[in-house]
Chain A
Amino acid sequence: MDTEAVTAQLDSELRARVFDSVGTLLPRVLGREIPELTDRTLLMADLGLRSATMLELLLELEDNLEIQIDVEDIDQGNMNTVGDLADFVAGHSTAD
């Protein structure tokens, strides 16, 4: 397996962990239960996240997954859906 394939596999593993963690952590961040998540669940419109709660979620993900997220690169386009966020975190993180 070449290096690129290994990286892609690692990223997809991390992505899956990010997705699961979002579902676990969001009720704590938002202080209420949330509906079942899909990749297409809208973070703001469906779940009611705001800029600050989004950043809080990133901090919770860092703690939970023991990663460091390169937040300087994050933009609105990375925060539309749960899938967008999982893609971003999987592609912009390093092990803590």
Chain B
Amino acid sequence: MTALAAMATYLPEHAVPIEDLADQLELTRMQVRLFQRFHGFSQIRLDTGGTLTDLLRAAATRLDELRGQEHRVRYVLHARSMPVAVPYPLNPLHDLCRELGLGHALAFTVSHHACATGLIAIDVAGQLLAEDPDPGALALVLAGEKAFTLDAQLVPGTSIFGEASAACLVSRDGPRDRLAAYATNFRGEFGGRLEELPELAARYEQEYPESLAQVLLGAVEQAGLNLGDISLILPHNVNVVSWQRLCRRIGFPIGNVLLSNVPMTGHAFCADLFINYLTATELGLLNPGDHYLVAAAGQGATFSAMVFEH
């Protein structure tokens, strides 16, 4: 059973209040208030002057459990929301692998599922490890992206992106944070630039809550559990209001959704899930044996949820 063996995250020190981003993001005063009041945003982090390699390195070098285990890492996956990161022939992932002594590993990017890609990367890592001849093999999943264009900084009326990163060692099996179930729903009919397709955007908005609810409940059922058995949801930090509505829909207490990072980090692409996990453990919100849900939705659209046993 796929397990999360160790995790580390990096939050850049530079915090930018979202009102300071208004001009850059072309937000009106009322739109800034909307993000603050309903969506729960206060600031984002930016790794100003740093490259994508710097951002990913910062998380990977904080992963103490990687030290001395490099030879066991067979796969390195960069979970990426945005389809484009750097121009050819630059390859930050390969550069970083060489730096970290992971040049021998099969390194590749998982993408095209927007912010749900983090969960897919964990699933892919687990599948590769399950088939690997070495039962002690490990995969390193990296997440974190530069908010480098307006599209990468903002989903209008919905979310503001910030920079942060995560590194997670995945093992074929293990005693903690074992993957009990994974439900995903690909809705390719929502592909396209929604800002330019108002009818499609309206339909996506209407179907989003039910589609995400379905994978959450589907993963819980697949794990042989009831929603009442779930102690915590670790969300993607798209915004607060969408989680409030979703919780009302499925009858889950909003206080058990870890939303405290939304004001502090904004939506850090695929790194949210890992950042929220570490916050949950630091706050003592997960006890051994607890089942928790990790969930994300990606524009395009992919809805995904995993149940883990802590």
Contact = CB atoms under 8 A, between A and B. Distances in A.
A3 interface: no
Interface string A14-53: 0000000000000000000000000000001000101111
13 contacts: A44-B202, A50-B198, A50-B205, A52-B156, A53-B157, A55-B34, A55-B241, A56-B30, A56-B34, A56-B157, A59-B34, A71-B241, A75-B248
Interface residues of B, number: 17
Chain A interface main SS type:
helix
A72 B31 contact: no
Most chain B beta-carbon neighbours within 10 Å: one of A44, A52, A59, A75? A52
Chain A, interface size category, equals 10 to 19
A51 B157 contact: yes
A50 B30 contact: no
B272 to A, nearest CB: 20
B193 interface: no
Contacts of B38: 55, 71
B244 interface: yes
A60 interface: yes
A50 B244 contact: no
Contacts, number: 37
A50 B37 contact: no
A50 B201 contact: yes
Chain B interface main SS type:
helix
Given A59-B37, A75-B245, A75-B248, A51 B205 contact: yes
Q: Which 8 A-B pairs have the closest CB atoms?
A: A52-B157, A55-B38, A55-B34, A51-B205, A56-B30, A59-B33, A56-B34, A59-B30
Contacts of B281: none
Contacts of B31: 52, 56
Contacts of A75: 245, 248
B226 interface: no
